[in-house]
Chain A
Amino acid sequence: MRHTKPLNDKARRLTGLAEQGKLDEVRLMQTVPAGCAATFDPGWEVDPFGGVASLCQPMEADLYGCSDPCWWPAQVPDTMNTYPDWNKGSDSAQRDWRRLAEVFPKK
Protein backbone atom coordinates (compact mmCIF):
# COMPACT_ATOMS: atom_id res chain seq x y z
CA MET A 1 0.00 0.00 0.00
CA ARG A 2 3.01 2.31 0.23
CA HIS A 3 2.95 3.07 -3.46
CA THR A 4 -0.77 3.45 -3.95
CA LYS A 5 -3.08 6.15 -2.77
CA PRO A 6 -6.79 5.55 -2.12
CA LEU A 7 -9.02 7.69 -4.28
CA ASN A 8 -12.52 6.81 -3.12
CA ASP A 9 -14.36 5.72 0.02
CA LYS A 10 -14.08 2.04 -0.76
CA ALA A 11 -10.34 2.27 -1.26
CA ARG A 12 -9.90 4.31 1.91
CA ARG A 13 -11.89 1.74 3.84
CA LEU A 14 -9.76 -1.02 2.35
CA THR A 15 -6.61 0.75 3.41
CA GLY A 16 -7.85 1.33 6.94
CA LEU A 17 -9.08 -2.20 7.49
CA ALA A 18 -5.97 -3.70 5.94
CA GLU A 19 -3.95 -1.98 8.64
CA GLN A 20 -6.26 -3.49 11.26
CA GLY A 21 -5.96 -6.95 9.75
CA LYS A 22 -9.65 -6.99 8.75
CA LEU A 23 -9.21 -7.20 5.01
CA ASP A 24 -11.81 -9.93 4.70
CA GLU A 25 -14.51 -7.46 5.73
CA VAL A 26 -14.05 -5.46 2.57
CA ARG A 27 -15.75 -6.91 -0.44
CA LEU A 28 -14.28 -5.93 -3.73
CA MET A 29 -15.86 -6.88 -7.01
CA GLN A 30 -13.34 -9.40 -8.24
CA THR A 31 -15.43 -11.34 -10.66
CA VAL A 32 -18.67 -10.95 -12.51
CA PRO A 33 -21.61 -13.34 -12.56
CA ALA A 34 -22.13 -14.98 -15.92
CA GLY A 35 -24.88 -13.45 -17.92
CA CYS A 36 -26.47 -10.07 -18.05
CA ALA A 37 -29.83 -10.24 -16.34
CA ALA A 38 -28.56 -9.15 -12.93
CA THR A 39 -28.95 -5.43 -13.30
CA PHE A 40 -26.22 -4.60 -10.85
CA ASP A 41 -23.47 -6.38 -12.71
CA PRO A 42 -20.84 -3.78 -13.49
CA GLY A 43 -21.27 -4.26 -17.22
CA TRP A 44 -19.63 -1.06 -18.22
CA GLU A 45 -16.27 -1.67 -16.62
CA VAL A 46 -15.56 -5.29 -17.41
CA ASP A 47 -17.16 -8.05 -19.42
CA PRO A 48 -18.34 -11.38 -17.98
CA PHE A 49 -14.83 -12.73 -18.34
CA GLY A 50 -13.21 -9.98 -16.31
CA GLY A 51 -11.75 -8.30 -19.39
CA VAL A 52 -12.96 -5.77 -21.90
CA ALA A 53 -12.83 -7.68 -25.19
CA SER A 54 -16.46 -8.79 -24.93
CA LEU A 55 -17.93 -5.45 -24.04
CA CYS A 56 -20.13 -3.86 -26.65
CA GLN A 57 -18.07 -2.96 -29.72
CA PRO A 58 -17.53 -0.03 -29.76
CA MET A 59 -18.37 0.56 -26.13
CA GLU A 60 -20.50 3.65 -26.78
CA ALA A 61 -22.75 1.58 -29.04
CA ASP A 62 -24.28 0.21 -25.85
CA LEU A 63 -25.20 3.58 -24.38
CA TYR A 64 -28.70 4.03 -25.71
CA GLY A 65 -29.62 0.38 -25.48
CA CYS A 66 -29.03 0.84 -21.78
CA SER A 67 -30.33 4.36 -21.10
CA ASP A 68 -33.58 4.27 -23.06
CA PRO A 69 -35.03 1.02 -21.69
CA CYS A 70 -33.55 1.82 -18.26
CA TRP A 71 -31.48 -1.35 -18.43
CA TRP A 72 -28.46 -0.21 -16.44
CA PRO A 73 -29.91 2.53 -14.24
CA ALA A 74 -26.89 2.66 -11.97
CA GLN A 75 -24.40 3.08 -14.79
CA VAL A 76 -26.21 5.08 -17.47
CA PRO A 77 -28.67 7.96 -17.01
CA ASP A 78 -32.21 6.68 -17.23
CA THR A 79 -34.02 8.46 -20.07
CA MET A 80 -37.22 6.55 -19.40
CA ASN A 81 -38.07 8.48 -16.26
CA THR A 82 -35.39 10.48 -14.52
CA TYR A 83 -33.32 12.22 -17.20
CA PRO A 84 -35.63 12.15 -20.24
CA ASP A 85 -33.60 14.67 -22.22
CA TRP A 86 -30.14 13.29 -21.52
CA ASN A 87 -29.54 12.18 -25.10
CA LYS A 88 -32.04 14.47 -26.83
CA GLY A 89 -30.61 15.63 -30.14
CA SER A 90 -27.73 13.18 -29.88
CA ASP A 91 -29.22 10.28 -31.77
CA SER A 92 -25.99 8.50 -32.60
CA ALA A 93 -23.96 7.49 -29.57
CA GLN A 94 -20.85 6.84 -31.61
CA ARG A 95 -21.07 10.22 -33.33
CA ASP A 96 -22.52 12.34 -30.51
CA TRP A 97 -21.14 10.90 -27.29
CA ARG A 98 -19.04 13.99 -26.62
CA ARG A 99 -22.23 16.00 -26.26
CA LEU A 100 -23.60 13.79 -23.52
CA ALA A 101 -23.40 15.38 -20.12
CA GLU A 102 -23.00 13.94 -16.67
CA VAL A 103 -26.09 13.95 -14.54
CA PHE A 104 -26.54 14.64 -10.87
CA PRO A 105 -29.56 14.04 -8.64
CA LYS A 106 -31.57 17.19 -8.05
CA LYS A 107 -31.38 18.45 -4.47
Chain B
Amino acid sequence: MMRVRSTSLASLLGAAVLTASAPAVAKDYLLAGLKPDKLVLVDPEARKVERTYTLQDGAPGPAMIIPSPDGRVAYVIVNRSEAISGIDLDSGKEVFRADLSKPPERVKAFAADISPDGKELFVYVSPVELASDEYKVGDTRIAVYRTSDGTAAKPVRVLPAPRRTSLIALSHDGSKLYALSWDVIILDPATGKVTGKHEMRHWGRAGYGEPDVIDAWPQWEFTGVLVSPYTVMRTDVAPTDPGASRTGLMSLDLASGDFSMENFEDTTKVIFSGVINPVRRDEAYLVYATLTKLDRKNHKVLKRIEVDHTYYAINISSDGREVYLGGTMNDIGVYSTDSLKRLAVIPLPGGADQGIVAPRMIRR
Protein backbone atom coordinates (compact mmCIF):
# COMPACT_ATOMS: atom_id res chain seq x y z
CA MET B 1 0.00 0.00 0.00
CA MET B 2 1.25 3.43 -0.85
CA ARG B 3 -0.01 6.64 0.56
CA VAL B 4 0.33 8.96 -2.37
CA ARG B 5 -0.43 12.60 -2.30
CA SER B 6 0.34 14.32 -5.58
CA THR B 7 -1.30 14.21 -8.96
CA SER B 8 1.54 12.29 -10.59
CA LEU B 9 0.44 9.17 -8.83
CA ALA B 10 1.69 6.55 -11.19
CA SER B 11 5.20 7.95 -11.37
CA LEU B 12 5.39 8.42 -7.62
CA LEU B 13 4.20 4.91 -7.02
CA GLY B 14 6.82 3.52 -9.34
CA ALA B 15 9.61 5.57 -7.82
CA ALA B 16 8.65 4.71 -4.28
CA VAL B 17 8.48 1.04 -4.99
CA LEU B 18 11.79 0.95 -6.82
CA THR B 19 13.58 2.54 -3.88
CA ALA B 20 12.14 0.04 -1.44
CA SER B 21 13.21 -3.56 -1.08
CA ALA B 22 10.26 -4.69 -3.18
CA PRO B 23 10.63 -6.64 -6.41
CA ALA B 24 11.80 -4.62 -9.39
CA VAL B 25 8.35 -4.68 -10.98
CA ALA B 26 5.70 -3.89 -8.44
CA LYS B 27 2.10 -4.79 -9.08
CA ASP B 28 -1.27 -3.97 -7.65
CA TYR B 29 -2.89 -6.64 -5.52
CA LEU B 30 -6.29 -6.68 -3.92
CA LEU B 31 -7.07 -8.10 -0.50
CA ALA B 32 -10.57 -9.41 0.15
CA GLY B 33 -12.18 -11.06 3.14
CA LEU B 34 -14.51 -14.04 2.95
CA LYS B 35 -16.82 -15.77 5.38
CA PRO B 36 -16.16 -17.44 7.68
CA ASP B 37 -12.39 -17.08 8.11
CA LYS B 38 -10.58 -16.35 4.86
CA LEU B 39 -8.32 -13.59 3.60
CA VAL B 40 -7.74 -13.64 -0.14
CA LEU B 41 -4.94 -12.10 -2.17
CA VAL B 42 -6.13 -11.31 -5.69
CA ASP B 43 -4.05 -10.41 -8.71
CA PRO B 44 -6.45 -8.05 -10.50
CA GLU B 45 -4.37 -7.82 -13.64
CA ALA B 46 -4.39 -11.61 -14.07
CA ARG B 47 -8.04 -11.69 -12.94
CA LYS B 48 -7.30 -14.50 -10.51
CA VAL B 49 -6.96 -15.36 -6.86
CA GLU B 50 -3.29 -15.61 -6.01
CA ARG B 51 -3.52 -17.02 -2.50
CA THR B 52 -5.99 -17.78 0.26
CA TYR B 53 -5.18 -17.49 3.97
CA THR B 54 -7.13 -18.97 6.86
CA LEU B 55 -7.64 -16.64 9.81
CA GLN B 56 -7.55 -18.03 13.34
CA ASP B 57 -10.97 -17.54 14.99
CA GLY B 58 -12.10 -15.68 11.92
CA ALA B 59 -15.84 -16.35 12.22
CA PRO B 60 -18.32 -15.12 11.32
CA GLY B 61 -16.09 -13.31 8.84
CA PRO B 62 -13.45 -10.62 8.52
CA ALA B 63 -14.86 -7.20 9.37
CA MET B 64 -12.09 -4.92 8.10
CA ILE B 65 -8.69 -5.31 6.44
CA ILE B 66 -5.88 -2.87 7.12
CA PRO B 67 -2.81 -3.40 4.92
CA SER B 68 0.61 -2.38 6.16
CA PRO B 69 2.11 0.52 4.16
CA ASP B 70 4.72 -1.81 2.64
CA GLY B 71 2.07 -4.32 1.54
CA ARG B 72 3.68 -7.14 3.51
CA VAL B 73 1.15 -7.66 6.30
CA ALA B 74 -2.63 -7.51 6.37
CA TYR B 75 -4.28 -6.75 9.71
CA VAL B 76 -7.80 -8.13 9.88
CA ILE B 77 -10.57 -7.57 12.42
CA VAL B 78 -11.81 -11.08 13.29
CA ASN B 79 -13.50 -13.20 15.96
CA ARG B 80 -16.81 -11.35 16.06
CA SER B 81 -14.84 -8.11 16.05
CA GLU B 82 -13.07 -9.05 19.28
CA ALA B 83 -9.58 -9.52 17.84
CA ILE B 84 -7.25 -8.14 15.22
CA SER B 85 -4.92 -10.52 13.46
CA GLY B 86 -1.89 -9.62 11.34
CA ILE B 87 -1.08 -12.05 8.54
CA ASP B 88 2.30 -12.03 6.81
CA LEU B 89 1.28 -12.24 3.17
CA ASP B 90 4.47 -14.08 2.17
CA SER B 91 4.65 -16.74 4.88
CA GLY B 92 0.92 -16.88 5.58
CA LYS B 93 1.65 -16.88 9.30
CA GLU B 94 -0.03 -14.83 11.94
CA VAL B 95 2.62 -12.35 13.04
CA PHE B 96 0.42 -10.05 15.10
CA ARG B 97 -2.61 -10.57 17.24
CA ALA B 98 -4.48 -8.51 19.78
CA ASP B 99 -7.42 -10.09 21.57
CA LEU B 100 -9.53 -7.22 22.73
CA SER B 101 -11.95 -8.65 25.29
CA LYS B 102 -10.97 -9.44 28.85
CA PRO B 103 -13.77 -10.57 31.19
CA PRO B 104 -15.86 -9.03 32.46
CA GLU B 105 -15.34 -6.53 29.64
CA ARG B 106 -16.42 -7.46 26.13
CA VAL B 107 -14.72 -5.27 23.55
CA LYS B 108 -15.68 -4.96 19.89
CA ALA B 109 -13.64 -3.24 17.19
CA PHE B 110 -15.34 -1.44 14.37
CA ALA B 111 -12.55 0.45 12.64
CA ALA B 112 -8.79 0.53 12.46
CA ASP B 113 -5.93 2.17 10.62
CA ILE B 114 -2.16 1.98 10.62
CA SER B 115 0.41 4.73 11.01
CA PRO B 116 2.22 5.81 7.83
CA ASP B 117 5.45 4.25 9.12
CA GLY B 118 3.67 0.96 9.78
CA LYS B 119 4.73 0.89 13.42
CA GLU B 120 1.43 1.57 15.16
CA LEU B 121 -2.03 0.13 14.71
CA PHE B 122 -4.98 2.21 15.86
CA VAL B 123 -8.13 0.25 16.71
CA TYR B 124 -11.44 1.92 17.51
CA VAL B 125 -13.29 -0.17 20.08
CA SER B 126 -16.56 -0.17 21.96
CA PRO B 127 -16.48 -1.88 25.37
CA VAL B 128 -19.29 -3.21 27.53
CA GLU B 129 -18.97 -4.76 30.97
CA LEU B 130 -21.04 -7.92 31.28
CA ALA B 131 -22.13 -7.70 34.89
CA SER B 132 -24.19 -10.43 36.54
CA ASP B 133 -27.49 -8.71 35.93
CA GLU B 134 -26.76 -5.76 33.71
CA TYR B 135 -24.63 -4.50 30.85
CA LYS B 136 -22.54 -1.44 31.63
CA VAL B 137 -21.71 0.35 28.41
CA GLY B 138 -18.25 1.84 28.54
CA ASP B 139 -16.78 4.81 26.75
CA THR B 140 -15.56 4.20 23.24
CA ARG B 141 -11.80 4.44 22.84
CA ILE B 142 -8.92 3.88 20.45
CA ALA B 143 -6.39 1.26 21.49
CA VAL B 144 -2.94 1.78 20.00
CA TYR B 145 -0.70 -1.25 19.41
CA ARG B 146 2.88 -1.62 18.29
CA THR B 147 2.82 -3.79 15.20
CA SER B 148 6.11 -5.36 16.35
CA ASP B 149 4.55 -6.72 19.55
CA GLY B 150 3.74 -10.14 18.16
CA THR B 151 0.80 -12.41 18.77
CA ALA B 152 -0.07 -11.34 22.31
CA ALA B 153 -0.03 -7.61 21.74
CA LYS B 154 -1.31 -5.23 24.41
CA PRO B 155 -2.15 -1.57 23.85
CA VAL B 156 0.74 0.80 24.38
CA ARG B 157 -1.73 3.59 24.95
CA VAL B 158 -5.48 4.12 24.95
CA LEU B 159 -7.10 7.26 23.61
CA PRO B 160 -10.57 8.63 24.22
CA ALA B 161 -12.64 8.52 21.04
CA PRO B 162 -16.01 9.81 19.87
CA ARG B 163 -19.01 7.48 19.77
CA ARG B 164 -20.58 6.39 16.47
CA THR B 165 -17.20 6.22 14.75
CA SER B 166 -17.22 3.93 11.72
CA LEU B 167 -13.87 4.77 10.11
CA ILE B 168 -10.57 6.08 11.41
CA ALA B 169 -7.71 7.34 9.25
CA LEU B 170 -4.25 8.70 9.91
CA SER B 171 -3.10 11.77 8.02
CA HIS B 172 -0.18 11.20 5.69
CA ASP B 173 2.31 12.78 8.03
CA GLY B 174 0.90 10.83 10.96
CA SER B 175 0.16 13.97 12.94
CA LYS B 176 -3.63 13.71 12.84
CA LEU B 177 -6.04 10.90 13.50
CA TYR B 178 -9.43 11.42 11.86
CA ALA B 179 -12.51 9.73 13.29
CA LEU B 180 -15.54 9.61 11.01
CA SER B 181 -18.49 9.94 13.35
CA TRP B 182 -21.46 12.28 13.09
CA ASP B 183 -18.76 14.79 12.30
CA VAL B 184 -15.13 14.19 11.39
CA ILE B 185 -13.30 14.60 14.67
CA ILE B 186 -9.58 15.33 14.50
CA LEU B 187 -7.55 13.75 17.28
CA ASP B 188 -3.94 13.93 18.34
CA PRO B 189 -2.72 10.37 17.75
CA ALA B 190 -0.35 10.64 20.69
CA THR B 191 -2.82 11.80 23.32
CA GLY B 192 -6.31 11.51 21.85
CA LYS B 193 -6.87 15.20 22.48
CA VAL B 194 -9.46 16.70 20.14
CA THR B 195 -7.65 19.24 17.98
CA GLY B 196 -10.34 20.05 15.46
CA LYS B 197 -13.54 19.10 13.75
CA HIS B 198 -15.05 19.04 10.27
CA GLU B 199 -18.78 19.36 10.66
CA MET B 200 -20.96 16.94 8.75
CA ARG B 201 -24.14 16.25 10.64
CA HIS B 202 -23.83 19.65 12.27
CA TRP B 203 -22.93 21.55 9.14
CA GLY B 204 -25.69 24.07 9.80
CA ARG B 205 -26.36 25.01 6.18
CA ALA B 206 -29.52 27.06 5.75
CA GLY B 207 -32.33 25.19 4.06
CA TYR B 208 -30.96 21.77 4.96
CA GLY B 209 -31.35 19.24 7.71
CA GLU B 210 -28.57 17.08 9.07
CA PRO B 211 -26.57 14.99 6.56
CA ASP B 212 -26.74 11.26 7.11
CA VAL B 213 -23.58 9.26 6.51
CA ILE B 214 -23.08 5.54 6.46
CA ASP B 215 -19.54 4.46 5.76
CA ALA B 216 -17.56 1.47 6.95
CA TRP B 217 -15.53 0.95 3.78
CA PRO B 218 -11.97 2.30 3.71
CA GLN B 219 -10.56 2.86 0.21
CA TRP B 220 -7.89 5.55 0.28
CA GLU B 221 -4.75 3.42 -0.22
CA PHE B 222 -3.89 4.77 -3.68
CA THR B 223 -5.66 8.10 -3.50
CA GLY B 224 -4.99 9.57 -0.08
CA VAL B 225 -8.55 10.87 -0.02
CA LEU B 226 -11.29 9.49 2.18
CA VAL B 227 -14.63 9.98 0.46
CA SER B 228 -18.08 9.16 1.69
CA PRO B 229 -21.50 9.64 0.15
CA TYR B 230 -24.19 11.27 2.25
CA THR B 231 -27.84 12.18 1.98
CA VAL B 232 -29.52 15.25 3.38
CA MET B 233 -33.09 16.53 3.45
CA ARG B 234 -33.90 20.05 2.36
CA THR B 235 -36.04 21.97 4.79
CA ASP B 236 -37.05 24.71 2.39
CA VAL B 237 -39.23 22.51 0.19
CA ALA B 238 -42.07 20.15 0.93
CA PRO B 239 -40.95 16.65 1.96
CA THR B 240 -42.94 15.34 -0.99
CA ASP B 241 -40.89 17.40 -3.44
CA PRO B 242 -38.75 15.10 -5.63
CA GLY B 243 -35.78 17.28 -4.80
CA ALA B 244 -36.33 17.22 -1.07
CA SER B 245 -33.57 14.71 -0.50
CA ARG B 246 -30.12 15.43 -1.90
CA THR B 247 -27.12 13.17 -2.28
CA GLY B 248 -23.59 14.46 -1.92
CA LEU B 249 -20.00 13.46 -1.51
CA MET B 250 -17.79 14.23 1.46
CA SER B 251 -14.05 14.36 0.71
CA LEU B 252 -11.25 14.45 3.25
CA ASP B 253 -7.74 14.78 1.85
CA LEU B 254 -5.45 12.91 4.22
CA ALA B 255 -2.40 14.80 2.94
CA SER B 256 -3.59 18.39 2.90
CA GLY B 257 -6.44 18.10 5.39
CA ASP B 258 -8.81 19.72 2.88
CA PHE B 259 -12.43 18.84 3.59
CA SER B 260 -15.51 19.39 1.50
CA MET B 261 -19.13 18.34 1.25
CA GLU B 262 -20.82 18.90 -2.07
CA ASN B 263 -24.30 17.84 -3.14
CA PHE B 264 -24.45 16.44 -6.64
CA GLU B 265 -27.97 15.13 -7.28
CA ASP B 266 -31.44 14.56 -5.97
CA THR B 267 -31.50 11.28 -4.10
CA THR B 268 -32.64 8.68 -6.57
CA LYS B 269 -30.25 5.84 -5.81
CA VAL B 270 -28.90 4.21 -2.71
CA ILE B 271 -25.11 4.68 -2.62
CA PHE B 272 -22.91 3.08 0.01
CA SER B 273 -19.35 3.98 -0.81
CA GLY B 274 -17.02 5.68 -3.25
CA VAL B 275 -13.44 6.18 -4.31
CA ILE B 276 -11.72 8.92 -6.26
CA ASN B 277 -9.43 8.34 -9.22
CA PRO B 278 -5.75 8.58 -8.17
CA VAL B 279 -4.81 10.01 -11.59
CA ARG B 280 -7.88 11.92 -12.80
CA ARG B 281 -8.59 13.23 -9.34
CA ASP B 282 -11.73 15.12 -10.31
CA GLU B 283 -13.45 11.80 -10.93
CA ALA B 284 -15.10 9.65 -8.30
CA TYR B 285 -16.92 6.34 -8.56
CA LEU B 286 -19.79 5.37 -6.30
CA VAL B 287 -21.40 2.02 -5.78
CA TYR B 288 -24.25 -0.03 -4.39
CA ALA B 289 -26.68 -1.57 -6.90
CA THR B 290 -25.41 0.93 -9.46
CA LEU B 291 -21.97 2.21 -10.40
CA THR B 292 -21.79 5.96 -10.83
CA LYS B 293 -19.06 8.10 -12.32
CA LEU B 294 -19.00 11.53 -10.77
CA ASP B 295 -17.40 14.80 -11.80
CA ARG B 296 -16.17 16.04 -8.42
CA LYS B 297 -15.29 19.46 -9.77
CA ASN B 298 -18.67 20.28 -11.24
CA HIS B 299 -20.68 18.02 -8.95
CA LYS B 300 -22.34 16.19 -11.81
CA VAL B 301 -23.09 12.58 -12.54
CA LEU B 302 -21.24 11.70 -15.74
CA LYS B 303 -22.51 8.18 -16.15
CA ARG B 304 -24.39 5.51 -14.25
CA ILE B 305 -24.91 1.82 -14.92
CA GLU B 306 -26.69 -1.01 -13.18
CA VAL B 307 -24.32 -3.64 -11.82
CA ASP B 308 -24.97 -7.39 -11.61
CA HIS B 309 -25.66 -7.33 -7.91
CA THR B 310 -25.10 -5.07 -4.97
CA TYR B 311 -21.55 -4.31 -3.94
CA TYR B 312 -21.10 -2.37 -0.72
CA ALA B 313 -17.56 -1.30 -1.42
CA ILE B 314 -15.23 -0.10 -4.15
CA ASN B 315 -11.52 0.36 -4.69
CA ILE B 316 -9.33 1.35 -7.59
CA SER B 317 -6.11 0.44 -9.40
CA SER B 318 -3.07 2.62 -8.88
CA ASP B 319 -3.18 3.75 -12.53
CA GLY B 320 -6.81 4.78 -12.17
CA ARG B 321 -7.98 2.64 -15.09
CA GLU B 322 -10.08 0.07 -13.24
CA VAL B 323 -12.35 0.05 -10.24
CA TYR B 324 -12.84 -3.08 -8.18
CA LEU B 325 -16.29 -3.65 -6.73
CA GLY B 326 -16.36 -5.84 -3.66
CA GLY B 327 -17.92 -6.66 -0.34
CA THR B 328 -21.40 -8.21 -0.01
CA MET B 329 -21.37 -11.32 -2.22
CA ASN B 330 -18.72 -13.61 -3.61
CA ASP B 331 -16.88 -11.89 -6.43
CA ILE B 332 -14.86 -8.84 -7.38
CA GLY B 333 -16.35 -6.90 -10.27
CA VAL B 334 -13.79 -5.17 -12.48
CA TYR B 335 -15.03 -2.10 -14.36
CA SER B 336 -13.39 0.44 -16.65
CA THR B 337 -13.18 3.93 -15.20
CA ASP B 338 -13.48 5.37 -18.69
CA SER B 339 -16.58 3.61 -19.94
CA LEU B 340 -17.88 1.87 -16.80
CA LYS B 341 -17.90 -1.24 -18.96
CA ARG B 342 -17.58 -4.47 -17.04
CA LEU B 343 -14.17 -5.91 -17.83
CA ALA B 344 -14.17 -9.03 -15.68
CA VAL B 345 -15.66 -10.79 -12.71
CA ILE B 346 -13.21 -12.53 -10.39
CA PRO B 347 -14.99 -15.27 -8.44
CA LEU B 348 -13.73 -15.82 -4.90
CA PRO B 349 -13.02 -19.25 -3.41
CA GLY B 350 -15.88 -21.38 -2.16
CA GLY B 351 -18.53 -18.93 -3.24
CA ALA B 352 -18.51 -17.47 0.27
CA ASP B 353 -19.85 -13.99 0.88
CA GLN B 354 -17.61 -11.08 1.71
CA GLY B 355 -20.27 -9.38 3.79
CA ILE B 356 -19.35 -5.98 5.16
CA VAL B 357 -15.60 -6.23 4.60
CA ALA B 358 -14.18 -3.90 1.95
CA PRO B 359 -11.48 -4.84 -0.56
CA ARG B 360 -8.16 -3.14 0.07
CA MET B 361 -5.31 -2.46 -2.34
CA ILE B 362 -1.60 -3.01 -1.92
CA ARG B 363 1.28 -2.59 -4.31
CA ARG B 364 4.24 -4.88 -3.99
Contact = CB atoms under 8 A, between A and B. Distances in A.
Interface of A: 31, 33-38, 47-49, 54, 56-58, 61-62, 64-65, 67-69, 71, 79-81, 84, 87-88, 91-95
Given A65-B312, A65-B328, A80 B351 contact: no
Interface in B272-305: 272, 288-289
B81 A95 contact: no
Contacts of B352: 91-92
| Complex A-B, nearest 4 residue pairs according to Cβ-Cβ distance, in ascending order | A35-B212, A91-B352, A64-B355, A91-B35
B257 interface: no
B214 A64 contact: no
Nearest to B35: A91
Given A48-B270, A92-B330, A92-B353, 10 more contacts: A31-B239, A34-B212, A38-B212, A49-B268, A64-B35, A65-B312, A68-B60, A84-B59, A91-B350, A92-B352
Contacts of B312: 65
A91 B60 CA distance: 9
A65 B66 CA distance: 18
Bin the interface of chain B by size.
35 or more
A64 to B, nearest CB: 4
Chain B CB within 10 A, most for which of A58, A88, A91: A91
A69 B213 contact: no
Interface in B21-63: 34-36, 59-61, 63
Given A34-B231, A54-B269, A68-B60, A84 B80 contact: yes
A31 B352 CA distance: 34
A68 B328 CA distance: 11
Q: What does DSSP make chain B's interface, helix, strand, loop or mixed?
A: loop
Contacts of A57: 289, 309-310
A51 to B, nearest CB: 11
Interface string B195-222: 0000000000000000011101000000
Interface in B223-250: 230-233, 239, 245
A36 B228 CA distance: 13
Contacts of B356: 64-65, 68-69, 71
A80 B288 CA distance: 24
Given A61-B328, A91-B351, A56 B310 contact: yes
Contact of A69 (B81, B212, B230, B288): B81
B128 to A, nearest CB: 9
Interface in B311-358: 312, 327-330, 350-353, 355-356
Contacts, number: 108
A88 B212 contact: no
A84 B356 CA distance: 16
A72 to B, nearest CB: 12
Given A56-B310, A80-B108, A64 B289 contact: no
A58 B309 contact: yes
A35 B63 CA distance: 22
A88 B60 CA distance: 7
A38 B351 CA distance: 31
A70 to B, nearest CB: 8
Contact of A34 (B34, B81, B267): B267
Given A54-B289, A56-B289, A81-B80, A64 B267 contact: no
Nearest to B213: A37
Nearest to B352: A91
A37 B329 CA distance: 21
A64 B353 contact: yes
B60 A65 contact: no
B36 A61 contact: no
A36 B60 contact: no
A87 B36 CA distance: 9
B120 to A, nearest CB: 25
Contacts of B59: 84, 88
A95 B347 CA distance: 14
16 contacts: A34-B231, A34-B232, A35-B231, A36-B214, A36-B270, A36-B272, A48-B245, A49-B268, A61-B329, A64-B61, A64-B356, A71-B356, A79-B60, A91-B34, A92-B35, A92-B352
